[in-house]
Amino acid sequence: MAVLVIADHTNAAIGDGTAKTIAAAAKLSPDIDVLVAGENAQGAADAAAKLTGVRKVLLAESPALGHLLAEAVTDCVVALAGGYDAILIPATSAGKNYAPRIAAKLDVNQITDIIEVVSGDTFVRPIYAGNALETVQSSDAKKVITVRTTAFQPVAEGGSAPIEKADAGAAGAHEAKWVSDEVVKSDRPELAGAKIVVSGGRAMGSAEEFQKVIDPLADKLGAAVGASRAAVDAGYAPNDYQVGQTGKVVAPQLYVAIGISGAIQHLAGMKDSKIIVAINKDADAPIFAVADYGLVADYKTAVPELMDALTAAGK
Amino acid sequence: MKVLVPVKRVIDYNVKVRVKPDQTGVDLANVKMSMNPFDEIAVEEAVRLKEKGIATEVVVVSIGVQQAQETIRTALAIGADRGILIVSDVDAEPLAVAKLLKAVIAEESPNLVIMGKQSIDGDNNAVGQMLAALLDWPQATFASKLDVTGDKASVTREIDGGLQTLEVDLPAIVTADLRLNEPRYASLPNIMKAKKKEIAMKTTADYGVDVASSLKVLKVTEPPKRGGGIKVESAAELVTKLKEAGAL
């Protein structure tokens, strides 16, 4: 059985979700093709071709694909689906948008957000914000699967797969039209794939304080910045910083939670981090139940001390 | 313009979920149930469209057990006009739900469907996109802003790294993200008024949709627990520990 992985990409480059999804695909089949559906996406296709285990890269290009519009991506994937027994898609916000549309067009259920491949038809996936794990068996002949990328180690580079052109499909009449993207440019690593994440909570009290406290610490550690839903709801941080059930799920090597109490919904988004550090002045905060290292202190004094200690340690 | 809002009855978001010892699912007995929070946002948005004079009727539909009538009443109290309950004791998978909703849409002919992006039990985030696929309608998911003008809608949606704005021709499917609005608390007079609003009772057979799933749940288990950590006394000790653990 052959497997198609839909690359997560920015046209110029691929996201690390692609390499992680290939790792999940490799548990199903040795015959893995990667589709890069975009516009001026040769850069992304070249990067995908270097990943270990890829048989070939399919490159489909059109303006609608360049914006990853669900209708266009679905048409492109459904046209290719005949040659594959499973289609794996990284569960990024773009993937979550088009994967169910692809599944419904193929008249199959989506197997959502898998964290483990048990066998060719059986998978483990989190439900109830990760408070329970469901083992599901699919009887669909063709499987459409989204992959929780934090659960898989990325495959390495080292391959040199051929790149073939694929049909992008025609623009349909019933298609959303792209108007604009407003993407915040940042030199920091991307939150979902960062090795270190520093997150701030409602204790920050204002957007200015959030930036004053969290940003320098993140920059010192080379970390991405995250936030609790409470901080986002209060307007201290933008929504794409949100870590949790209703935001992003992260699993970095090191997660530093500053002034975050640890609501169930936040823990769902970060409890699979390798090492968790919590700084909170409330010793009873639930975040300490999952933290490997807890410091009971006011962040106002603890964060500057932490900055000094990091400097002293050569950071 | 008619707006259809599908809603789901789920375990209240504040309740700590417990897995049944026999691993057949999570324990729903004597647990507080509420409307899925994202669906509440969808209902609020539809009612606001009505208050602005853009929508003329807001119809809510739910698929679930008899008690899901309460969930529909909650939506009616927020300001929806009438409800439809498709009674099903099976917790239908997203594809079956989308097929049922497609059949409802064939009868109701709404111009716009607004629904939550995801239910907080199954966490599939799939029904809206599937419904759009089955109808061949445009989709605008994870909406944080919705403007309807004539037969078009402009939708700002949450994407990785920022926001995207799309324009869709109606009819279309819009799925609600958290920041679309803050749902109101229903007032007592509106709760009383909601009791008199109509809820049509249907069955899955009325729509000719088979809710049997191609996905079989083999077991439901607790996630692995994290071991307890340690408390450190100072930032300096924290850095030392992190260096020892190889985290820095």
Q: Which CATH topology does B2-244 take?
A: Rossmann fold (3.40.50)
Residue of B nearest to A305 (CA): B235
Show which of A123, A148, A165 is a domain's final residue: A165
Task: Give the pLDDT score at B206.
Answer: 96
Q: Which of B127, B142, B247 lies nearest to residue A93, judging by beta carbons?
A: B142
Identify whether residues A152 and A31 lie together within a single domain: yes
Evaluate whether residue A38 is within a structural domain. Answer: yes
CB within 8 Å: A306 and B235: yes
Task: Give the pLDDT score at A173.
Answer: 67
Q: How many CA atoms lie within 13 A of A157 on its CB side?
A: 7
Residue of A nearest to B12 (CA): A128
Contact A264, A228 (CB under 8 A): no
Dihedrals φ, ψ of B52, to 5°? -80, -5
Going from the C-alpha of B231 to that of each of A55, A278, A295, A297, A305, the distances in angstroms are 49, 9, 6, 11, 16
Contact B139, B150 (CB under 8 A): no
Q: Best interface-test mutation with A: which of B24, B182, B239, B244 has the largest number of A CBs within 10 A?
A: B239
Domain positions in chain B: 2-244
Identify whether residues A111 and A197 lie together within a single domain: no
Average pLDDT taken over every residue of chain B: 95
CB within 8 Å: B95 and A108: yes
Omega of the bond prior to B171 within 30 degrees of 0, cis? Answer: yes
Backbone CA torsion sign across A44, A50, A53, A55 = positive
Is some CB atom of chain A closer than 8 A to the CB atom of B19?
Answer: yes
Contacts of A289 in chain B (CB under 8 A): 226, 228
pTM for the model stands at 0.93
Q: Sheet harboring A54-61: ordered strands across?
A: A110-114, A143-147, A86-90, A2-6, A31-38, A54-61, A163-165
pLDDT digits (tens, 9 = 90+) for A258-305: 999 998 889 989 998 999 999 999 999 999 999 999 999 999 999 999
pLDDT digits (tens, 9 = 90+) for A82-115: 999 999 999 999 999 999 999 999 999 999 999 9
Residue of B nearest to A263 (CA): B14
Evaluate whether residue A240 is within a structural domain. Answer: yes
Identify whether residues A73 and A160 lie together within a single domain: yes
pLDDT band at A190 (very low <50, low <70, confident <90, very high): confident
Show which of A148, A165, A182 is a domain's final residue: A165
pLDDT digits (tens, 9 = 90+) for B63-87: 999 999 999 999 999 999 999 999 9
What is the four-CA torsion angle of B235, B238, B240, B246, rounded to 10 degrees? Answer: -140
Per residue, what are the HEC states of B71-106? HHHHHHHHCCCEEEEEECCCCCCHHHHHHHHHHHHH
Distance CA B176, CA A306 (A): 39
pLDDT band at A175 (very low <50, low <70, confident <90, very high): confident
Q: State the residue range of the domain holding A51.
A: 2-165
Evaluate whether residue A63 is within a structural domain. Answer: yes
Identify whether residues A30 and A66 lie together within a single domain: yes
CB within 8 Å: A101 and B130: yes
pLDDT digits (tens, 9 = 90+) for A16-37: 899 999 999 999 999 999 999 9
Identify whether residues A69 and A157 lie together within a single domain: yes
Contact A295, B232 (CB under 8 A): yes
Identify whether residues A161 and A15 lie together within a single domain: yes
Q: What is the CATH number of the domain that holds A296?
A: 3.40.50.1220
Q: Encoding tokens for residue B47?
A: 């009612």
Q: Is the pLDDT of residue A172 over 90?
A: no
Average pLDDT of the segment spanning B187-199? 97
Identify whether residues A151 and A19 lie together within a single domain: yes
Identify whether residues A153 and A227 lie together within a single domain: no
Distance CA B172, CA B157 (A): 14
Distance CA A201, CA A216 (A): 16
pLDDT digits (tens, 9 = 90+) for A246-262: 788 899 999 999 999 99
Contacts of A112 in chain B (CB under 8 A): 122-126
Task: Give the pLDDT score at B22.
Answer: 96
The interface predicted TM-score (ipTM) is 0.95
Q: Is A278 left (phi over 0), alpha (psi -120 to 50) or beta?
A: beta
Task: Give the pLDDT score at B224.
Answer: 86
Residue of A nearest to B19 (CA): A132
CB within 8 Å: B120 and A245: yes
Show which of A150, A165, A180 is a domain's final residue: A165
Residue of A nearest to B232 (CA): A295
The total number of structural domains that make up chain A: 2
Q: Is the pLDDT of residue B150 over 80?
A: yes
The Cα of B102 is separated from the nearest Cα of chain A by a number of Å equal to 12
CB within 8 Å: B125 and A112: yes
Percentage of chain B modeled with pLDDT above 70? 100
Evaluate whether residue A184 is within a structural domain. Answer: no
